C-alpha cells in the first residue's frame, strides 16, 4: 500500500473547459482518502517562488465543476527546463530551473504531482518524471491531439461551440446567398473542424490531414450554385493548408496559426464571384463552461489520477479507452501527435454525405 499523504496539482498550457472539474475531482478524491491536496499556481511558477501554492480544501474546490478557465491559473511560458528570464535589454534568456523545481517539490513534502496539460505540458511532465518526480498526467486540450486517449476534455465543448456557430451561420448565409467560412482551432490537427463540420452539415471541411486545392473548393461552391443552392458553408481548421503550400500564421515566428478564413474568403470571392464572409472563432472555443460530457471525462480523469497515485502507478497519463479510463506511460502519450485518420469513419461519413475536403 502507498503511504502517500500530500499531493500537488497544477494546470499548464492553454486552458480548456473542464480544468476545474479535474482539480475538484482530484482534490476531493485525495481528501476523501485522508490525504492533503495543494494547488500550484500558474503551472510550475508556484514552486519556483514566482507564484503561490494553495491548499485545495473542500471549500476551495466547492462549486467549480461547471466553471471555465482554471482556479490555479495557467501559462504557455512556464517550461522549467527553459524558463524565460527577461534581460535588462528587453530580450529573453532561457534558463534550466528543473533542479530548483525538483528541490522545491521535495522541500514541500509532496508525494506526487498531478499535472493537467496538453502536449507541451505532458512533455514537460515526462521529462520531470525521468528526473525522478512522481507524476501523473491528465490530458487536456480542445485540440484532441493527444495520443493514447480517445478524447481529451475540452474538445467536445469546442466542437459544441463551433457547431452552434455553423448552425447560426446557415440562416444568414442562405438569406444573403453568401459563402460563409468558419475558422476553428486545432493547431496541426483537424479534429474540431471535422467533428463540428459534420455535425453542423458544412459543405466544405478543410483539415491539415487532407491538403486542399482551392480549385476544388471553388468547384464545390459552383456545383451548389448549379443545384440552386446559392449559399455554401465551410469550416476550415486553422492549420489547414493547400497542396504544396503552407498554413497561414498570425505570428510566424511564434508559430501562432490564424487567418486562413480571410485568405480563403478572398480567393473564393475572386474565383467564384460569390460574396464571401469569414469568421474566426478563436478563443471563444476555449472559454465558458464545459458541456456535460467534458465535465464527466474531467471528473473521471481527476479521480483516476489519484487512483494511480494510490496504486503507485507513476510516470503515466490517464486516458479514455471506452468504456474505461486507464493509465498509459507518459512517454507513449507524448511519442507522437494524434491526427485525424483520413481513412476513418468520420471522414468517410462526411464524404458519403457529399461534403468536400477540397481534395
Ligand atoms: O492548443 C490549444 C490552442 O487553442 C490551439 O488550438 C491554438 O492554436 C492555440 O492553443 C492558441 O494559443 P494561444 O492561446 O496562445 O493563442
For 131-156, the pLDDT digits (tens) are: 999 999 999 999 999 999 999 999 99
What atom of ligand 1 comes closest to residue 283's alpha carbon? 4
Interval between CA 350 and ligand 1 midpoint (Å): 26
Fold classified for 157-287+341-352: Rossmann fold (3.40.50)
Average pLDDT over residues 108-127: 97
CATH topology match: 6-153+290-322 vs 157-287+341-352:
yes
Which of 16, 75, 140, 143, when mutated, tests ligand 1's pocket best, judged by the most ligand atoms within 8 Å of its CB?
Answer: 143
What atom of ligand 1 comes closest to residue 285's alpha carbon? 4
Question: What are the residue boundaries of the structural domains of the chain, listed by start?
Answer: 6-153+290-322, 157-287+341-352
- Is 183 close to ligand 1, i.e. is its CB under 6 Å away? no
Nearest residue (CA) to ligand 1, atom 9: 187
Confidence of residue 49 (pLDDT cuts 50, 70, 90): very high
Interval between CA 258 and ligand 1 midpoint (Å): 10
Average pLDDT over residues 297-310: 98
Do residues 281 and 185 lie in contact, with contact meaning Cβ atoms separated by under 8 Å? yes
- Is 140 close to ligand 1, i.e. is its CB under 6 Å away? no
Average pLDDT over residues 295-319: 98
**In this model, does residue 314 exceed pLDDT 70?**
yes
What local confidence, expressed as pLDDT, does residue 2 receive? Answer: 53
Question: In sequence order, which residues have a C-beta less than 8 Å from that of residue 41 and are 6 or more positions away?
Answer: 10, 51, 52, 53, 54, 72, 73
Which of 14, 19, 146, when mutated, tests ligand 1's pocket best, judged by the most ligand atoms within 8 Å of its CB?
Answer: 14
- Is 76 close to ligand 1, i.e. is its CB under 6 Å away? yes
Interval between CA 323 and ligand 1 midpoint (Å): 29
What local confidence, expressed as pLDDT, does residue 159 receive? Answer: 98
B/e letters for 166-201, b = 16+ CB within 10 Å, e = fewer, are: beebeeebeeeebbbbbbbbbbbbbbbbbbbbbbbe
Confidence of residue 67 (pLDDT cuts 50, 70, 90): very high
**How many C-beta neighbours within 10 Å does residue 111 have?**
17
CATH number assigned to the domain with residue range 6-153+290-322, chosen from the 4 options 3.40.50.620, 3.40.640.10, 3.40.50.450, 3.40.50.1970: 3.40.50.450
Kindly state the cell numbers that stand for 91.
530580450
Question: In sequence order, which residues have a C-beta less than 8 Å from that of residue 201 and are 6 or more positions away?
Answer: 166, 233, 353, 355
**In this model, does residue 315 exceed pLDDT 60?**
yes
- Is 2 close to ligand 1, i.e. is its CB under 6 Å away? no
Do residues 296 and 303 lie in contact, with contact meaning Cβ atoms separated by under 8 Å? no
Interval between CA 191 and ligand 1 midpoint (Å): 14
pTM of this prediction exceeds 0.75: yes
**In this model, does residue 57 exceed pLDDT 90?**
yes
- Is 121 close to ligand 1, i.e. is its CB under 6 Å away? no
Do residues 147 and 42 lie in contact, with contact meaning Cβ atoms separated by under 8 Å? no
Distance CA 292, CA 300 (A): 12
> What integer best gives the mean pLDDT of the chain?
97
Average pLDDT over residues 122-134: 98
What local confidence, expressed as pLDDT, does residue 4 receive? Answer: 65
Distance CA 237, CA 260 (A): 8
**How many C-beta neighbours within 10 Å does residue 215 have?**
12
Amino acid at each position: 500500500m502507498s503511504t502517500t499523504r500530500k499531493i500537488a496539482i497544477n494546470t499548464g498550457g492553454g486552458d480548456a473547459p473542464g480544468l476545474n472539474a479535474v482539480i475538484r475531482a482530484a482534490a476531493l478524491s485525495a481528501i476523501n482518502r485522508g490525504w492533503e491536496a495543494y494547488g500550484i499556481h500558474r503551472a510550475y511558477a508556484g514552486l519556483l517562488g514566482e507564484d503561490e501554492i494553495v491548499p485545495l480544501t473542500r471549500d476551495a474546490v466547492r462549486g467549480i465543476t461547471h466553471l471555465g478557465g482554471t482556479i490555479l491559473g495557467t501559462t504557455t511560458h512556464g517550461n522549467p527546463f527553459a524558463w524565460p528570464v527577461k534581460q535588462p535589454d528587453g530580450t529573453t534568456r532561457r534558463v534550466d530551473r528543473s533542479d530548483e523545481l525538483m528541490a522545491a517539490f521535495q522541500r514541500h513534502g509532496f508525494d506526487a504531482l498531478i499535472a493537467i496539460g496538453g502536449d507541451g505540458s505532458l512533455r514537460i511532465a515526462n521529462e520531470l518524471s525521468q528526473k525522478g518526480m512522481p507524476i501523473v498526467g491528465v490530458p487536456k486540450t480542445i485540440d484532441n491531439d493527444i495520443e493514447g486517449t480517445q478524447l481529451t476534455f475540452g474538445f467536445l465543448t469546442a466542437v459544441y461551440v463551433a457547431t452552434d456557430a455553423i448552425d447560426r451561420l446557415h440562416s444568414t448565409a442562405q438569406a444573403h446567398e453568401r459563402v460563409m467560412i468558419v475558422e476553428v482551432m486545432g493547431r496541426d490537427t483537424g479534429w474540431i473542424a471535422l467533428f463540428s463540420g459534420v455535425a453542423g452539415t458544412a459543405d466544405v471541411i478543410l483539415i491539415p490531414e487532407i491538403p486542399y486545392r482551392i480549385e476544388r473548393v471553388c468547384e464545390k461552391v459552383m456545383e451548389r450554385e448549379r443545384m440552386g443552392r446559392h449559399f455554401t458553408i465551410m469550416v476550415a481548421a486553422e492549420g489547414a493548408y493547400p497542396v504544396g503550400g503552407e498554413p497561414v500564421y498570425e505570428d510566424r515566428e511564434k508559430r501562432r496559426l490564424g487567418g486562413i478564413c480571410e485568405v480563403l474568403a478572398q480567393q473564393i470571392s475572386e474565383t467564384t464571384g460569390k460574396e464571401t464572409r469569414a469568421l474566426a472563432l478563436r478563443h471563444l472555443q476555449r472559454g465558458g463552461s464545459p458541456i456535460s460530457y467534458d465535465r464527466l471525462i474531467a471528473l473521471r480523469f481527476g479521480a483516476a489520477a489519484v487512483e494511480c497515485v494510490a496504486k503507485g502507478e507513476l510516470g503515466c497519463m490517464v486516458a479514455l479507452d471506452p468504456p474505461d479510463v486507464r493509465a498509459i506511460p507518459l512517454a507513449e502519450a507524448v511519442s507522437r501527435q494524434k491526427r485525424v485518420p483520413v481513412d476513418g469513419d468520420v471522414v468517410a461519413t462526411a464524404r458519403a454525405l457529399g461534403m468536400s475536403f477540397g481534395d
